[in-house]
Structure 1
Amino acid sequence: MVEKKTVCQIVEEWLKEKDYFLVEIAVSSDDKIVVEIDHAEGVWIEDCVELSRYIESKLNREEEDYELEVGSAGIGQPFKVLQQYYNHIGKEVEILTRDGRKLNGVLKNADEEKFVVTILKKVKIAGDKRPKLQEEDETFVYADIKYTKYLISFK
């Protein structure tokens, strides 16, 4: 069986001095290896092919029979690593909290413990008949959310 640790080391070697970052590596019991990478400006198919060939050059098919899939994290998919939050600062995201609230807003900031999203909320202002939309920053701890993902808009 192909060891996940081995694949991680190979991918990390390839990533050195590149602007790509690792999102996830999965190795199933039947030796299907799935590697997801990402980049601030998107992932090029040529780079996925290059990484795939690099991994294959480091693994011995005579010893292990495996299936290899290398691709991007996928637009519209939930964020899996902190770097994805950094890359989407200033962009609109969708958040689903553990208590079931679904919110849309602009990702304002992120660090290792939390992230901040600017959300438009209806606020009743004294003297006005109707509530008005007002920007409000809301802070989330990663443990309190089910997912955050880039919101694709066709406006």
Structure 2
Amino acid sequence: MEFKEKITALLEEFLSQRTDLFLLDLKISAADDVTVVLDGDQGVTLQDCLDASRAVEFNMDREAHDFSLQVMSAGLSEPLTMPRQFKKNIGRDLKVLLQDDKEIEGELQAVSDEGIALLLRYRKPKEVGKGKVDVEETLEIRYSEIKKATVVVKF
């Protein structure tokens, strides 16, 4: 079995036992530096990263193939790339960059297999008279329209 296939198989076996976790990225450099990025429905703990690391490292023969292994969770500033990541962030504010480079910020209301629904809140001028009115509207966005989506961090 090839090195990358062996790593992938070990991760899949680990993740089949931990259905709350999922693989976001697996990178193997030319120097055999392995980087695994995990996410989870309730987040990823340090123990989760250690468990995944052990599942791979303890089942590989370092004498046969020398490598380095780094297992990490997706950072808060990392873009959302999978529908499962969007689902766990329902109720949070997202900043979404569309394919046409238009940027939208709103509260994530719903997630489907096709896309997301954002609740937009803004003020617009009154139709008659002076002043502005508060407006709330729901905007549905297909995944294919999203170039990048990140969670807005508020302090």
Look up the match of 1:16. 16
After TM superposition, the structure 1 = structure 2 runs for residues 100-115 of structure 1, keeping only pairs within 5 Å, are 100-115=101-116
Name the counterpart of 2:154.
153
Cα 1:135/1:66, change in 2 over 3 Å: same
Instruction: Compare 124-133 and 66-75 and name the one that shifted more.
Output: 124-133
Amino acid at match of 1:13: E
1:91 partner letter: R
Tell me how large the CA RMSD over aligned residues is.
1.7
Q: Cα offset for 1:112?
A: 2.1
Residue 127 of structure 2 aligns with an amino acid whose one-letter code is A
Q: Secondary structure at the match of 2:3?
A: coil
TM-score w.r.t. length of structure 2: 0.89
Following superposition, the deviation at residue 100 of structure 1 comes to 1.6
For residue 88 of structure 2, what is the aligned residue in structure 1?
87
Q: Distance in 2 between matches of 1:71 and 1:30?
A: 19
Give the superposition deviation at 1:29: 2.0
Paired-residue identity, %? 27
Query: In the alignment, what sits opposite 1:74?
Result: 75
Instruction: Give the CA deviation at 1:152.
Output: 0.6
8 A Cα contact 1:2 1:27, kept in partner: no
Whole-angstrom distance in 2 between the partners of 1:72 and 1:100: 28
**For residue 57 of structure 2, what is the aligned residue in structure 1?**
56
Cα distance in 2 for partners of 1:80, 1:33 equals 21
Indicate the SS of the match to 1:74.
coil
Number of equivalenced pairs: 153
Q: TM-score of the superposition, structure 1-length normalised? A: 0.89
The amino acid of 2:93's aligned partner reads: E
Q: 2:36 corresponds to which residue?
A: 35
